[in-house]
A = this chain, B = another copy of it.
């Protein structure tokens, strides 16, 4: 049953989707407006009509719906990349994870969701403004409980030790390699998001010299199809690039 304060996803006839909180009196699009208070007490899955007669179905949002629609001050990471990062870093219930930088908190949100109920995410960000926004974004859907937000320059090191995985999304990731080494469990994985090929080359050089092994560089492309059964075909345009993902594992240095 839909309650006041719930986030619901409105799925339109035209495939457009809107994530709204059942709180405001009215939700408006160019297709007309819906009185959200009407939804309270109704069941999920019902169909509502705007005052212009356009239909929207009211469904339960899942994590991916929140990830795409968080408030942002920074470029956010897309579900296509998040899903692969989660798997490659083995992020799951009970894990202890470091993230740097927090940005708008999209990845933080996904990490928090998956380490529940016994794990924890430690997320570092230099800019207080971003950290605040991320904190708000996570609070709104109740995931902040599993996250420690730190406003600090990670080049000086992370406070946590023996973490299960680290993910780095900053401009100069080379500068954090020593910090990563000190905090990551031996044999565990670190991941990076890197927009340019120059950054991938620079980081690979440092990684190799710093006792990380098994480097893997990938990019993930998502191609959407128009869901028309009689005229099935890919969308005309697609996102061609978000970033390269680099993963590596920490080796033991003294090798005893």
Where the two chains meet, the residues of A that have a C-beta atom closer than 8 Å to any C-beta of B are: 11, 15, 17, 42-47, 57-60, 62-64, 67, 79-80, 82-90, 92-93, 110, 113-114, 116-118, 185-189, 195-198, 200-202, 204-205, 208, 213-241, 244, 246, 249-252, 255-256
Q: Given A90-B63, A220-B80, A239-B236, A46–B255 Cβ distance below 8 Å?
A: yes
Q: Is the interface of A mostly helix, strand, loop or mixed?
A: mixed
Tell me if B232 and A241 are in contact (CB < 8 A): no
State whether A57 touches B222 (Cβ < 8 A): no
| Residues of the B chain whose Cβ atoms lie less than 8 Å from the Cβ of A87 | 62-64, 67, 79, 82-83, 86, 110
Closest to A165 in B: B62
Alpha-carbon distance between A234 and B59 when the two chains are bound, in angstroms: 33
Q: In the bound complex, how far is the Cα of B251 from the Cα of A58, in angstroms?
A: 8
Pick from B47, B187, B225, B227: contact of A60, CB under 8 Å: B187
Q: Is the CB of A93 within 8 A of B90?
A: no
Chain B nearest CB, measured from A234 CB (Å): 4
Tell me which residues across on chain B come within 8 A of A205, comparing CB atoms.
Answer: 229
Give the distance in Å from the alpha carbon of A236 to the alpha carbon of B196 in the complex.
12
**A139 to B: closest C-beta gap in Å:** 18
Among candidates B62, B92, B117, B214, residue contacting A114 with C-beta atoms closer than 8 Å: B92
Given A45-B250, A188-B60: A227 touches B217 (CB 8 Å cut-off)? yes
The chain B residue with its CB closest to the CB of A234 is: B241
CA distance A230 to B240 in the complex (A): 19
Q: Which of B79, B90, B231 contacts A196 (CB 8 A)?
A: B231
Residues in B with CB closer than 8 Å to A89 are 62
Query: What distance in Å separates the Cβ of A60 from its nearest Cβ neighbour in chain B?
Result: 4
Q: Which residues from B are CB-within-8-Å of A246?
A: 227
Assuming the contacts A84-B222, A195-B233, A204-B229, asked whether A186 and B43 have C-beta atoms less than 8 A apart, the reply is: yes
* Interchain residue pairs A-B with the least CB separation, the first 3: A83-B83, A62-B90, A44-B187
Structural contact, B186 and A45, CB atoms closer than 8 A: yes
Least Cβ–Cβ distance between A59 and chain B, in angstroms: 4
Residues on B with beta carbons closer than 8 Å to the beta carbon of A113: 92-93
